[in-house]
Amino acid sequence: MKIWISGAGYGSGRVVDAREARLPALDHGITVGDGVFETVKAVGGQAFALTRHLQRLARSARGLGLGELDLDHLRDGVHQALAANPDTDPGRVRITVTAGLGPLGSERTGGELTAMVAVGPFAQPAPTTDVVVVPWTRNENGALSGLKTTSYAENVRALAYARQRGAGEAIFANTVGNLCEGTGSNIFVVLDGRLVTPPLSAGPLAGITRELVLEWVGGAEEDIPMAALSRVSEAFLTSTGRDVQPIRAIDDRVLPAAPGPVTAEAMKVFAERSAAEIDP
Ligand SMILES: Cc1ncc(COP(=O)(O)O)c(C=O)c1O
């Protein structure tokens, strides 16, 4: 695998073999998770919805206090990384930007940012997935709420909890007991015949797939009390890797259908529209 890297001694950007790429041990992204990232899908060497992903990366960087990113530079990095990995299709394009060299503590010294673009394989998502609700909450009032930062260990912990229980994704409530999101996905449910997803004020990441489903398929953004999960007739996850993935069971409750009619329609519309437009 080849990787594009800039900063960290690589100047304005170079493609190198991933096994040879080196970061300074005191990069603040490593010592304290001071960084932001994106995962983008590439098909036939072209990155899907790249403009939306770069804009979200910029929002995350701003929210974390990393300043304004040079998105043209990063877009060029994505193109170089894809060109250097032509056999990886579909590709999982991982863009990471960290604060660069920093002290051992939380204070940031404001040096040159480190940026990387790696391209790995994207596994085919399973036709359905089971999810479990984890005992920990998302903090919708936290400083990092809604930002895609490299401080992701909470998601690592929650996903391991779900996997130990045979599920494919872990679901978080927020601090007031409403549905929030998965470790790497957003969630939609069908309640009383209506398609609903938690609003951004409930604390989820503004998923690009979620955004496109709302635009292309519809659905309401409303707070969903966790207790309402016992009544949902259908549910699905959305993410760059899963697209629209039906949920078969939530904890021990197997849903009436996976996919049910609303989910099947969302899958169909998303597949058609995303195939027709590479950068919607
Ligand atoms: C916490 C979280 N929520 C939701 C998503 C889904 O976002 P997207 O559709 O942009 O992949 C992700 C993506 O990885 C995520 O990390």
Distance 206 CA to ligand 1 centre (A): 7
Of 121, 139, 165, which one is at a domain's C-terminal end? 121
For residue 239, the CA-to-ligand 1 centroid distance in Å is: 5
Is 255 found in the same domain as 209? yes
Question: What does the pLDDT read at residue 185?
Answer: 98
pTM over 0.95: yes
> What is the number of structural domains in the chain?
2
Select from 96, 121, 146 the last residue of a domain. 121
Per-residue tokens: 18: 């991933």
Q: pLDDT, tens digit, for every residue of 160-203?
A: 999 999 999 999 999 999 999 999 999 999 999 999 999 999 99
Q: Are residues 42 and 144 in the same domain?
A: no
At residue 230, the 3 state secondary structure works out as: helix
User: Do 134 and 237 sit in the same domain of this protein?
Assistant: yes
User: What domain range includes position 82?
Assistant: 2-121
- Which ligand 1 atom minimizes the distance to the CA of 204? 3
Distance 112 CA to ligand 1 centre (A): 27
Instruction: Give me ligand 1 centre to Cα 29, in Å.
Output: 20
pLDDT digit string, tens, across residues 197-223: 999 999 999 999 999 999 999 999 999
Identify the residue whose C-alpha is closest to ligand 1 atom 1: 184
Q: Are residues 135 and 272 in the same domain?
A: yes
Question: Do 152 and 230 belong together in one domain?
Answer: yes
Residue of the nearest CA to atom 16 in ligand 1? 184
Ligand 1 centroid from CA 240, angstroms: 7
**37 and 155 in a common domain:** no
> Is the minimum distance from the CB of 238 to ligand 1 under 6 angstroms?
yes
Secondary structure class of 215 (helix, strand, coil) = helix
**Among 84, 103, 121, which residue terminates a domain?**
121
- How is residue 175 written in tokens? 């601090």
Cis peptide before 135 (omega within 30 of 0): no
**CA of 156: how far to CAs of 30, 153, 159, 160, 210, in Å?**
16, 5, 5, 6, 21
Whole-angstrom Cα distance, residue 37 to residue 99? 12
User: Rounded to the nearest 10 degrees, how much is the dihedral formed by the CA atoms of 53, 56, 60, 61?
Assistant: 70
174, 177, 179, 184 alpha-carbon torsion, rounded to 10°: 30
Q: Are residues 85 and 143 in the same domain?
A: no
- Nearest residue (CA) to ligand 1, atom 15: 184
| The pLDDT value given to residue 210 | 98
**Residue range 120-131: average pLDDT?**
95
266 and 235 within one domain: yes
Q: Do 90 and 206 fall within a single domain?
A: no
Q: What is the pLDDT of residue 156?
A: 98
Q: What's the CATH code of the domain at 47?
A: 3.30.470.10
Same structural domain, 140 and 254? yes
